[in-house]
Structure 1
Amino acid sequence: MKIRTITTGISISSPKDTDKIKQAHEFNQKAQKIFAQQGYEVQTTRISTNSWEEYLLNLAKVDIINEIQTLEKTCQSLDISFFNIGHANKPETIALIPDIIKSTSIIYCSSQMGNRETGINFENTWESAQTIKRISQESENGYGNFRYCAWANCQPGIPFFPTAYHIGDTSFGIGLELGELVNQAFSQADNLQSAEIELQSILEKELIKVAKIAEEISLKFAVKYNGIDTSLAPSLEQKNSIAFAYEKIMSGKFGYPGTLAISGMLTRVLKNVSVKICGYSGLMLPVCEDVGLAARANEQTYDLTHLLLYSAVCGCGLDTVPVPGDITIEKIAAILTDLATLAIKLNKPLSARLFPIPHKKAGEMTSFNSPYLVNCHVFSVD
């Protein structure tokens, strides 16, 4: 099992608040070292802030972009590779996100489409759809959308990007890569019931160890600990694919009947491990971040509607899903509205990271040049 991220959240009042950024980075480095001493590989350390609307208020567009670029330079000087400026919650600020993505390289951000209390914000949802479309047109192979998502009903303190945002005093959370443990549990199981028992047992044992180290770090450095996001972050390694894990206990391929039941079971286990949890703590099914999911997408064993269905009982929503480059803003908005409806109706955090692929049609292969993504066929949205 690997630790995908140690994510520390800070509240800043200005992009020039470099002391807090430095302190968060130093804390991340120390925490990473402590985990490494205990035998854990920490793949990334990350920093998220409160909404950038709060610390870039009342600035002109050009000044906002300049301030964020300055912020990125500060991060790069400190060797910070993942920095999230939180979410936008107004149509006029969401509209600036394509320019933010285009003018930076390590800055992540998101937009809010609604929550349980206020319902769906249709203006934000429409602007988010326009943002996805613009980013796809203004970045190579549409890759800029890797650093942006639209979400509904997501709380602060999610360790995973790009959804992460922060409120309040400095705190940190842990995100894991659990595909290896799921494959281990399912390899030892004969059916759905035994797989659930086996997985619960393995996760209890392993996550308690991680939680204990995190709690000790929290005490040592007096930084609040939010918990572990138990979500099954994906692996690009074939042996740890979540899709191939499913197929160990089902008759058929991922996407066939039985997929929904396994998705529900996985989420049930992930939410019931006896450690402090945070964030999504559910099943992630990011199409372009998992070799098995990409392979089954190529075979058309599942589609975008299936992913929405699985989101009803599991995960984080629609993640790294490639769609045709000529998709209309209306269709993107319809997909986002469906997702926001699920999030609010079921009171769960869901996000959408869609990849319209320029000049590609449904069934054609993506051509990402990224260490974080695997290529697969573009999904149909008809």
Structure 2
Amino acid sequence: MKIRTITTGISLQSATETAKIKQAAEFNQQAQKIFTQQGYTVQTTRITTNSWEEYLAGLSPREIIKQIQAIEQLCQNLDVSFFNIGDTSQPANIALIADINQQTSLIFCSSKIADSETGINFENIQASAKLIQRISQETENGYGNFRFCTWANCQPGIPFFPTSYHRGQTAFAIGLECCDLVMQAFSQAENLQIAEIKLQEILETELQKIAAIAQTISGQFAIEYQGIDTSLAPSLDKNHSIVFAYEKLMHGKFGQSGTLAISGMLTRVLKSVSIKTCGYSGLMLPVCEDIGLATRANEQTYNITNLLLYSAVCGCGLDTVPIPGDITTDKLAAILTDLATLALKLNKPLSARLFPIPHKKAGEMTNFNSPYLVDCRIFAVD
């Protein structure tokens, strides 16, 4: 098991509060050191903030971009590779994200399209659909959408990007990559029921260890510990793909009968561990971040509708899903509306990180030049 991220959240009142950013960076370095000394691999450390609409309020679009570029330069000086400026919920600001994205390289952000208090925001859905389309056209291979997502019903404290945003006092959370534990449990099981029991036992043991270290760090540095997002973050290692773990229990391939049942079981376990949890704490199925998901996408054993179905009983929505570059804004908006409807109906957090691939159609291969993504066939959109 690896620690995918230690994410520290800070609240800014202006972009000039560089001391808070420096303190968060220093804390992340110390926390990473402590976990490493305990034998864990920490893949990334990250910083996330409250909504940039709050600490950049009143500025012109040009000045907003200038201030965000200054934050990015500071991050580069501090060796911070992942910085999230939080969410936006104003259509004009959603449109501005395209320029922010184009003129930065390590800044992540998101837009809100629905929550349980205000319902679905159709204006934001249209603005987000236009933004996804524009980013795809203005960045190489549409890769800029890796740093943007739109979400429904997501709370602060999610350690995973781009959905992450923060409220309140400085705090940190842990995100894991533990598909290897799922593979271990499923390899020892004869059926779904035994797999659930074994996975529960393994996760309880391993997550308690991480939680204990995190609590110690919290006390040592007087920074609030928000918990572990138990979500099964994906792996580019074929030996630890969540898909191949599924198939230890199936009489077929991921996407075929039995996939929904395993997805539901995984979520039950992830939400029942007796530690402090935060964020999604569900099952992630990001197509281009897991070699097994990409492999089965190439074989067309599942589609976008399947992914939404699995989200009903498990995870995080539609993540790193490649779609045709000529998709219309209306079709993008329809997908986002479906996702928002599902999130509100089931009272769960869901997000969408969609990749329209310029000049390519369904069935063609993506061509990402990224250490974070694996190439696969582009999904059809009905």
TM-score by length of 1: 1.00
- Alignment gaps of 5+ in structure 1: none
In terms of mean alpha carbon deviation, does 59-68 or 149-158 score higher? 59-68
Cα shift at 1:288: 0.2
AA in 2 matched with 1:364: E
The amino acid of 1:191's aligned partner reads N
2:124 paired residue number: 124
Alpha-carbon distance, 1:14 to partner: 1.1
Which residue of the partner structure matches residue 41 of structure 2? 41
Residue in 1 that maps onto 2:82: 82
Code of the residue aligned with 1:68 in structure 2: it is I
Aligned residue for 1:243?
A: 243
CA distance in 2, matches of 1:217, 1:194: 35
Q: Which amino acid aligns with 1:198?
A: K
Q: In the TM superposition, what whole-angstrom CA distance separates every residue of 1:198-218 from its partner, at most 9, and x where no partner exists?
A: 100000000000000000000
Write out aligned runs for 1:291-306 (5 A). 291-306=291-306
Partner-residue secondary structure (3-state), 2:245: helix
2:221 aligned residue: 221
| Equivalence map 1:172-191=2 (5 Å) | 172-191=172-191
- The amino acid across from 1:49 in the alignment is T
User: What's the secondary structure of 2:356's corresponding residue?
Assistant: strand
Query: How far has the Cα of 1:133 moved from its partner?
Result: 0.3
- How far has the Cα of 1:114 moved from its partner? 1.0
Residue type matched to 1:100 in 2?
I
Distance 2:121 2:72 in 1: 30
List per-residue Cα deviations over 1:332-374 (Å, max 9, x = no partner): 0000000000001100000000000001100000000000000
5+ residue gaps in structure 2? none
Q: SS of 1:154's equivalent?
A: coil
- 1:94 and 2:113 equivalent? no
CA distance in 2, matches of 1:240, 1:16: 42
Give the distance between the partners of 1:242 and 1:221, measured in 2 at CA.
35
Query: How much has 1:16 moved relative to structure 2?
Result: 1.1
C-alpha deviation, 1:117, in angstroms: 1.2
Aligned match of 2:365: 365
**% of aligned pairs identical?**
73
**Alignment correspondent of 2:231:** 231
Give the aligned residue type for 2:364: E
Q: CA deviation at 1:270?
A: 0.2
- Match of 1:368, SS state, is coil
Residue of structure 2 equivalent to 1:156: 156
Amino acid at match of 1:72: E
1:208 to 2:175 alignment: no
Q: CA deviation at 1:15?
A: 1.1
Deviations 1:73-97 (A, max 9, x none): 0111111000000000111111101
List per-residue Cα deviations over 1:258-299 (Å, max 9, x = no partner): 000000000000000010000000000000000000000000
Aligned residue identity for 2:278: C
1:144 aligns with 2:161: no
Runs of 4+, deviation exceeding 3 Å: none
* In structure 2, distance between residues paired with 1:345 and 1:305: 17
Instruction: Give the Cα separation in 1 of the matches to 2:71 and 2:228.
Output: 28
State the distance in 2 between where 1:78 and 1:262 align: 42
Mean Cα deviation higher: 54-63 or 206-215: 54-63
What CA distance in whole angstroms lies between the structure 1 residues aligned with 2:335 and 2:322? Answer: 13
Match of 2:264 in 1: 264
Q: What value does the CA root-mean-square deviation take over the aligned residues?
A: 0.4
String of CA shifts for 1:141-187, please: whole Å, max 9, x gaps.
00000000000000000000000000000000000001100000000
What is aligned with 1:70?
Answer: 70
The normalised TM-score by structure 2 is 1.00
The count of residues paired between Structure 1 and Structure 2 equals 382
Structure 1 match to 2:336: 336
3-state SS of paired residue (1:96): helix
